[in-house]
A and B are shown apart, each in its own frame.
Chain A
Amino acid sequence: MKEKLELVRKEALAALAEVSASDALEALRVKYLGKKGELTAVLKQMGKLSAEERPVIGQLANEVRAKLEAAIESRAQQLANEAMAARLLSETVDVTIPGETRKLGSQHPMYQVLDELKDIFIGMGFEVVEDREVELAAYNFDRLNEKEGHPAREWTDTFYFTEDSSILLRTQTSPMQIHVMERQKPPIRMVAPGRVYRKDEVDATHSPMFHQVEGMVIDKGITMADLKGTLSEVARQLYGEDTVTRFRPHHFPFTEPSCEMDIQCYKCHGAGCPTCKGEGWIELLGAGMVHPTVLEGCGIDPDVYSGWAFGFGLERLALAYFKISDLRLIFENDVRFLEQF
């Protein structure tokens, strides 16, 4: 018996080594360990053994069974691993083949910059305002302190719809100051972007239609110090924390005192380079304290309320931001241009 068990074990292990497929392995398991298998056949003869031999052989038989089962299990795992490895190999792809994409559309570069600006102001409690582009001269000029005879009112500079020069295409976003003051009571914090129109022939830096962004704050106790602090903060958010600003006196009919804000050149940090045309500073926007005459014209008492306003051209900012060399590209809408952004 003992020899027989040893033989079964030896034969089975030898056969196992030859097995290379999982179905053959199953057949082998049945052959040795199945109900009609060889080990079972040997065990069936246990009854013929003496009482002394039986536990010894029984133990041996169990050992052989356990050993074979473990060997088959291990072989099965090994075969499974091999099969998986073969499959993975056969499924290998060239990862450098381009992916199948669906291109996202691009937002126009001008409006990307505008969105960034709006978000900055919204973060400071400003609301976004829009209004009409076909405008009354009263809103575009008179109520902004640009009286009859102001050069900007000439027909050589402004597009008109009526012979009496009373209806025009707005030349600035500033009339939105008036609209907002008419509609709303202070406190007011608004930013108003939009299309504006001036009679300029198209070239690399001019276009008869372009965009401005206007902003205004009206409240009790608003000071020029607030103007400086807020606009400097905007510049830092736009150009980085270490941005240095300076304010220069300037002139606008609808603000007094008026100023322009420069930022120190982000390229040369003030040393002077081609980006800042050697000046060390780049002009960013015009601003000032809302003129009391403008406030009075909107029924706001300048002895109680004060405010500041600013405005700038979006195109110039966006062109510099993306290093776009020619304004015409902005309105040409060539997809090879648009898809760069």
Chain B
Amino acid sequence: MDLSRKWLNEFVDLSDVSDKEFNDEMTLSGSKVETISREGAEIKNVVVGRILEMVRHENSDHMWVCQIDVGQDEPLQVVTGAQNQKVGDLVPVALPGAVVAGGKHIEAGELRGVVSNGMCCSWQELGMTEHDWPYNPENGLFLLNNDPDLAAKGLRPGEDITEAIGYDDIVVEFEITPNRPDCLSVIGLAREASATFARPLALHVPVIKGSGGNIADLLDIEIEDGDLCPRYTARMVKNVKIAPSPLWLRERLRASGVRPINNIVDITNYVMLEYGQPMHAFDFSCVEGGKIIVRTAREGESIQTLDGNERELTTNMLCICDEHKPVCVAGVMGGANSEIVGDTAMVLFESANFNGVSVRRTASALGMRTDASSRYEKGLDVMNTLKAVERACELVELLGCGEVVDGVMDVIAKDKAETVIPLEPEKVNRLLGTELDAQIMRDILLSLGFTLEGDDIHVPSWREDVERSCDIAEEVARFYGYNNIPDTLMRGETTRGGYNDSQLFERSLGTSCRALGYDEIITYSFISPSYYDKIRLPEDSPLRNSLRILNPLGEDTSIMRTTILPSLMEVIARNNNYRNKSVRLYELGKIYIPRDDGLADEPKMLALGAYGDGADFFTFKGTVEEILRAARIGDVRFEACQDNPSYHPGRCAEVYSGEKLLGVFGQIHPLVASGYGVDAEVYAAELSFEALYASHGGKPEYQPLPKFPAVDRDIAVVCDKDITIARLTDCIKRGGGELLRSVKLFDIYTGSHIPEGKKSTAFSLRFRSNEKTLTDTESDEAVRKVLERLEEELGAVIR
């Protein structure tokens, strides 16, 4: 909402309040000022000049050398190429050092050898349009005296141009919250300003002389659905004379960001800005049957709107129709078929109240949000329609552009009850943490147009947002000043606060990942269904059962992921694309598994990804192992997993803690990687946060340090190639018994000296007793048992 400060001063005189103060005070009382600017602020050193003399340029057949009175002792010589001026005309003159629209600087100079001490300006050079100056339609100099209102002002040469032509208003742009549509008007903001600055509000009651006749003889109104149109108010004007509006009215519209068109249309816009009530003017000769029917569009109906576009209407769009056809999309835009044109003789003014949601949906469906619809959509004051139409008729008489037919058609299809709230000062103070006197509250409410009967607050019709005591508290707080309410810290029962165990575990997992060199990523929760193909998920995979967004932004963000792998792969592919040589990434993110009730189970997954810089199966597995170790997850084992289609069948493992599956990791299938355009070996892990959390150990318990030295022995055995290290280790552990403290693989060898189909494996064994220092004989015996067991169970023989 753009507000003219000149206009505002008509209702509440704030001419002595600086822009800064106005900005701050209005913002703090709830009408947030976005910007505050002066019209024509960039125009500098441009003045009114009177052409005293014009002669042809000696070196040009189209230029004129003018002597211009700019209020100085001597006339100013200015060369111009314009042709529309004559001696005696008043024109804007940019003096040397002037700045015109677009920041263009004007200096004295020579034009084809003749000195020119400035420039005569058109309205374009002042940053204005032909709509602002209807009496100066042509290209050429802006002849100020052509405009009757400017001519009547008696402009003096030398006067600052912006002041002379009224291009010096202060425009305040407000951000109005959706609960306050009443503030989308000069009067609404004036009421706020009056309460903010404690100045009287001077409202005006329209007075209409009238010209006889009776609207009821000319017009009939029918409302089909009172929910969509609670009220429709109309008046008529005959013997209309379409002409430009007077300067003062055009100035107001321009400052408010509305383009002047002609007197009747301008009046509707003026009233909308002043009262916040959108209005429409119909050429009554185009309203067939003299009847206005407010109804939703019929199947197949369409209308050409004022912007020239043909609009297909649907059956939920409210329209203003005559006997046969729509003539206006209600609350949005009028139809070209009833537009006010030069020869319009009879005008019907509409001032109606429409359902906000309906208007918003219609405007949105038609893709045309207008000044009117953006007001209607917030829900307007039903009581405002009559005041607005009266004001419009008053302006018609003031401007002399027609004769107002007596009588008003005012159809109220749905009444609205007044809201009454008890004034409870103690309750208000309790909510705000203040100790305000009841009288202060009463004064604030009265200044805002509330009325009080005893302790009953009668809420004015334009304040539909005020429904209960807390709303009264806000009104009081706004004008007492939010910043005058004390700052206190909460009293009351102490709360425990803090992270819960699962949150603490989540934090420690992140710390582990980062300590291992992994960077945290954040990826979208929604993906494309085609991503499941990219990770080679089978057609019948249950993971393809995803929640589908019915109105997605696009295919790429249309389903909720049931696996975190595609999101990770996207990031890996992007980094690879950017030629980043290596990455180590992790994300702790949710997946979304559909439930029968339509919602989702949303478990968290820990995803890890790596490529480059020596990433291979075992360095990656080492990362997974270290994360599990740091989480004190016990009884960890790895099982080869050959049937996960996203992973390399020979380099993929499931990891368990006991019988609980924690997740899967390994090398991404080369076909998947190449599908993402990555040639390098890519490694990924998908671990269930819930499983990790369920398996994680508590706080560690101290184990006494050994009292006796350990004995280290290395063994190397040859066995069948397909016996896993896990089986060998398990066998060694059982063979070693209590004395065996640790087993470490340190070599696997195949090749010369080792028979085909066999491999040699070497382990470091550490033995220790808690009772004594082991002798060589005891150690030898322990090793012998291990070797015996290996041979017996796995056919592994010492090398």
Which B residues are CB-close (under 8 A) to A226? Answer: 433, 488-491
- Does B503 count as interface, using CB distance less than 8 angstroms? yes
| Closest B residue to A108 using CB positions | B520
A3 on the interface (CB 8 Å rule)?
A: no
Instruction: Output the least CB separation between A160 and chain B (Å).
Output: 5
What is the bound-complex CA distance between A162 and B432, given in angstroms? 41
Closest residue to A130 on the B side, CB-wise?
B503
CB atoms of A160 and B470 under 8 A apart? no
Q: Would A106 and B519 count as touching, CB distance under 8 A?
A: yes
Closest 10 CB pairs of A and B: A225-B433, A223-B433, A249-B30, A257-B474, A251-B177, A105-B514, A229-B487, A149-B357, A125-B497, A247-B482
Chain B residues in 8 Å Cβ range of A219: 490, 492-493
Q: What are some 25 contacts across the A-B interface (CB < 8 A)?
A: A105-B517, A105-B586, A127-B499, A128-B500, A161-B550, A167-B599, A188-B495, A223-B430, A224-B433, A228-B485, A229-B489, A230-B489, A230-B490, A246-B483, A248-B32, A249-B30, A249-B474, A251-B177, A256-B470, A257-B431, A289-B470, A331-B524, A335-B519, A336-B580, A338-B520
Q: Give the contacting residue for A223; candidates B27, B30, B432; CB below 8 A.
A: B432
Interface residue B785 (Cβ < 8 Å from any Cβ of A): no
Among the stretches B66-74, B384-392, B570-578, the one at the interface with A is: B570-578
- Report B569-612 CB contacts with A as 1/0, cut-off 8 Å: 00100110010100111100010100000111010000000000
From the candidates A121, A156, A159, A228, name the one contacting B549 in the complex (CB within 8 A). A159
Q: Check if A159 sits within 8 Å of B520, measured CB to CB.
A: no
**Given A199-B553, A257-B473, A111 and B592 touching (CB < 8 A)?**
no
CB within 8 Å of B: which of A112-165?
Answer: 115, 118, 121-122, 124-128, 132-136, 149, 151, 154-156, 159-163
Q: Which residue of A lies closest to B580 (CB)?
A: A335
Query: If A105-B513, A151-B360, A160-B549 touch, does A246 touch B28 (CB 8 Å cutoff)?
Result: yes
Query: Which residue from A122, A225, A256 sits with its C-beta under 8 Å from B434?
Result: A225
Taking CB atoms and an 8 Å cut-off, the chain B residues in 481-524 that contact chain A are 482-483, 485-500, 503, 507, 510, 513-524
Q: Output the nearest chain B residue to A306 by Cβ-Cβ distance.
A: B431
Chain B residue contacts of A102, Cβ below 8 A: 517
B290 close to chain A: CB less than 8 A: no
User: In angstroms, how far is the closest chain B Cβ from the Cβ of A231?
Assistant: 9
Asked if A172 lies at the interface with its beta carbon under 8 angstroms from chain B, I say no
Q: Does A297 contact B (CB under 8 A)?
A: no
Pairwise interchain contact B492-A249, C-beta atoms closer than 8 A: no
Q: Does A222 contact B (CB under 8 A)?
A: yes
Contact B522 A108 (CB under 8 A): yes
- Bound-state CA distance A251–B183 (Å) is 13
Instruction: Check A334/B30 contact, CB under 8 A, given A107-B514, A209-B526.
Output: no
Q: List A contacts of B499 (CB < 8 A).
A: 118, 122, 127-128
Q: In whole Å, how far is A80's beta carbon from the nearest beta carbon of chain B?
A: 34
1/0 contact string of B39-53 vs chain A (CB within 8 Å) = 000000000000000
**Cα distance, A110 to B180, chains bound together (Å):** 35
Interface residues of B (CB under 8 A from A): 27-30, 32, 177-180, 356-357, 360-361, 364, 377, 430-434, 465, 468-471, 473-474, 477-478, 482-483, 485-500, 503, 507, 510, 513-526, 547-553, 557, 560, 571, 574-575, 578, 580, 583-586, 590, 592, 598-600, 602
Known: A126-B497, A229-B487. A136 touches B432 (CB 8 A): no
**19 additional A-B residue pairs with CB within 8 Å, beyond A133-B592, A223-B433, A247-B483:** A107-B510, A121-B497, A122-B498, A127-B499, A133-B600, A133-B602, A151-B178, A162-B598, A187-B495, A189-B495, A197-B526, A208-B553, A223-B488, A224-B485, A225-B433, A230-B489, A248-B30, A333-B521, A339-B519
The count of A-to-B residue pairs whose CB atoms sit within 8 angstroms is: 238
The distance in angstroms between the C-alpha atoms of A105 and B519, with both chains bound, is 4
Of B485, B490, B519, B580, most buried by chain A (CB within 10 Å of CB) is B490
**A289-B585 contact in complex given A333-B574, A334-B580, C-beta closer than 8 Å:** no
Known A-B contacts A111-B520, A256-B474, A334-B578; the reply to A162 vs B496 at CB < 8 A is no
CA separation between A289 and B575, bound complex, in Å?
46
With the chains together, A160 CA to B600 CA distance in Å? 13
Are B515's CB and A134's CB within 8 A? Answer: no
Given A105-B584, A105-B586, A334-B578, A225:B488 Cβ within 8 A: yes
CB neighbours of A163 from chain B (8 A): 550
Would B514 and A104 count as touching, CB distance under 8 A?
A: yes
Contact status of A127 and B517, CB under 8 A, knowing A225-B485, A225-B487, A334-B575: no
- Alpha-carbon distance A122/B507, docked complex (angstroms): 15
- Chain A residues contacting B471 (CB-CB under 8 Å) are 256
- Contact check, B377 vs A134: say whether CB atoms are below 8 A apart: no
